[in-house]
């Protein structure tokens, strides 16, 4: 039941408890108790909105792969965390140590962000992949 409940909430986190109960074939109080347990145990960490396409209109995105000096990892992560263009930062295995997801209002802002990343102490090398057209985007 928890997996079904989570599936419904992923589609629309604003679905009323009574509607969730109807879909699951259980009482509203059962759904409420399950939600409270899922929240308490950290399975549900929060509820959010999904912004529409109008919010992202004109945004340009890129994935930036960087190689870092191992002793500088913490300071690089801290510096990237302060950059408003950074949407996500992931450690990786392979030739590069980290993958950064960037979003900027336009190419000048993206270029500036790339320059700032390249200038960080401890960044040994980087490669940028500019996103063109989304063929699959499951963030929505």
Q: Give the per-residue pLDDT at 11.
A: 86
Q: Measure the CA–CA gap between 85 and 68, rounded to whole angstroms.
A: 19
Mean pLDDT of 102-120: 96
Work out the angle at residue 136's Cα, subtended by the Cα atoms of residues 35 and 139, and round it to the nearest 5 degrees. Answer: 30
Q: Give the per-residue pLDDT at 54.
A: 60
To the nearest 10°, report the CA torsion of 2, 139, 86, 64.
110
Mean pLDDT taken over the chain: 92
Mean pLDDT of 78-84: 97
Within 8 A by CB and 6+ apart from 28, the residues are 17, 18, 21
Question: Quick one: tokens of 81?
Answer: 């965390």
Q: Is the confidence at residue 53, as pLDDT, over 70?
A: no
Work out the angle at residue 51's Cα, subtended by the Cα atoms of residues 47 and 53, and round it to the nearest 5 degrees. Answer: 160
């Amino acid at each position: 039941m928890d997996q079904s409940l989570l599936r419904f909430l992923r589609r629309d986190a604003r679905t009323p408890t009574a509607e969730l109960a109807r879909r699951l074939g259980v009482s509203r109080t059962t759904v409420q108790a399950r939600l409270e347990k899922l929240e308490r145990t950290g399975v549900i960490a929060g509820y959010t909105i999904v912004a529409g396409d109008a919010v992202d209109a004109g945004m340009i995105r890129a994935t930036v792969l960087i190689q870092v000096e191992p002793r500088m990892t913490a300071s690089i992560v801290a510096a990237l965390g302060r950059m408003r263009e950074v949407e996500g930062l992931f450690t990786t295995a392979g030739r590069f140590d980290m993958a950064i997801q960037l979003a900027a209002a336009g190419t000048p802002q993206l270029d500036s962000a790339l320059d700032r990343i390249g200038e960080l102490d401890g960044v040994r090398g980087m490669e940028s992949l500019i996103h063109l057209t989304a063929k699959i985007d499951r963030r929505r």
